[in-house]
């Protein structure tokens, strides 16, 4: 376990998976992250690479070869990630491709993730470098889970997501048996910028958006106002999710998406896939701002 703190916040990160596992206000000891109850959902904030979500039959095809990857890729729960550097306000972890990973993902790469704590904001920066002689294909994203409700004597229904712009987007429905994206959609916004939470909102799995104008989403309490804001300017997709009986919500910035039901499984043609030329690097950052009114 590693930690960063200033006079406002403390954050904790597990070496396994380089997973953010705690955000705590130091003055009032309020915890803002989900506690990873294994009986409900035993994760805090998995890092997603080199895929997002599920593959059809857990399989993709690259250059006529079939490869298998688990849901969300292999950073999650990975024990081979190492600490690269720690400073007063930042910490960086590293994973480099190895013989075992090459069997699942035939590219030589370097994956870095850096957490930087500045006042009341945590910045999460992903850096991917292609060490291969060929073009590399990948997706990357975050999956942070936040306590909901944050305060005692509140209900899940007291909370909402508030977006920075008025939206008219639909969610892309998930096949709950295999995690693949169906051709069906449901309207979520109707010229509005708010989603009210209730215990049934995720009964069909995640809300998945491909075309939001907003690059900021705030978790808001009807009783205590805005709690935290996730800014995701570098990410094209957004997922919102929780287990129906969990006291948390996930706000998930993604560059990429699960396979569709009609996929041909070809990695190069996968929706949202990023291509990276040899010896080039790619960076994508999102941030979590805890509103100051909850830190006194």
pLDDT in tens, 68-85: 999 999 999 999 999 999
Q: Which residues pair with 113 in a beta bridge?
A: 93, 126
Average pLDDT of span 219-242: 97
- 284 phi/psi in degrees, rounded to 5: -150, 130
245: pLDDT confidence band, cut at 50, 70 and 90?
Answer: confident
Q: What is the DSSP string of 262-289?
A: T---BGGGSTT-EEE-TT-EEEEEEEEE
In the chain, where the domains are located: 2-294
pLDDT of residue 65: 97
Strands 65-68, 181-187: pairing is: unpaired
Cα separation, 80 vs 215, in Å, equals 32
Average pLDDT of span 230-259: 97
pLDDT of residue 181: 97
Cα separation, 48 vs 295, in Å, equals 29
Average pLDDT of span 168-180: 96
In this structure, which topology does domain 2-294 adopt according to CATH?
Beta-galactosidase; Chain A, domain 5 (2.70.98)
Asked if pLDDT for residue 138 goes beyond 90, the answer is: yes
Average pLDDT of span 25-41: 96
102: pLDDT confidence band, cut at 50, 70 and 90?
Answer: very high
pLDDT of residue 244: 86
Asked if pLDDT for residue 296 goes beyond 90, the answer is: no
Asked if pLDDT for residue 242 goes beyond 90, the answer is: yes
Portion of the chain with pLDDT greater than 90, in percent: 98
Query: How much is the pTM?
Result: 0.96
SS (H, E, C) 231-246: ECCCCCEEEEECCCCC
């Amino acid at each position: 376990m590693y930690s960063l703190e200033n006079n406002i916040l403390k954050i904790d990160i597990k070496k396994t998976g380089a997973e953010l596992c705690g955000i705590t206000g130091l003055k009032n000891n309020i915890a803002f992250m989900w506690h990873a109850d294994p009986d409900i959902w035993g994760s805090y904030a998995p890092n997603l690479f080199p895929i997002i979500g599920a593959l059809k039959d857990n399989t993709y095809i690259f250059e006529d070869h079939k490869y298998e990857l688990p849901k969300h890729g292999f950073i999650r729960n990975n024990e081979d990630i190492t600490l690269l550097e720690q400073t007063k306000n930042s910490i960086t972890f590293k994973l480099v491709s190895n013989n075992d990973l090459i069997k699942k993902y035939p590219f030589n790469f370097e994956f870095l993730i850096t957490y930087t704590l500045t006042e009341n904001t945590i910045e999460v920066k992903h850096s991917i470098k292609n060490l291969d002689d060929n073009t590399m294909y990948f997706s990357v994203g975050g999956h942070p889970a936040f306590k909901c409700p944050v305060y005692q004597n509140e209900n899940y229904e007291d909370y909402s997501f508030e977006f920075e712009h008025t939206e008219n987007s639909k969610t892309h429905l998930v096949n709950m048996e295999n995690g693949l994206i169906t051709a069906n959609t449901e309207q979520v916004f109707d010229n509005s910028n708010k989603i009210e939470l209730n215990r049934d909102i995720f009964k069909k799995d995640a809300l998945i958006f491909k075309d939001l104008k907003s690059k900021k989403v705030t978790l808001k309490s009807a009783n205590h106002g805005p709690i935290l804001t996730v800014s995701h300017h570098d990410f094209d997709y957004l997922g919102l999710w929780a287990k129906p009986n969990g006291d948390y919500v996930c706000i998930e910035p993604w560059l990429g998406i699960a396979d569709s039901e009609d996929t041909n499984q070809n990695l190069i043609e996968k929706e949202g896939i990023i291509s990276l030329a040899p010896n080039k690097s790619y960076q994508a950052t999102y941030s979590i701002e805890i509103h100051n009114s909850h830190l006194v």
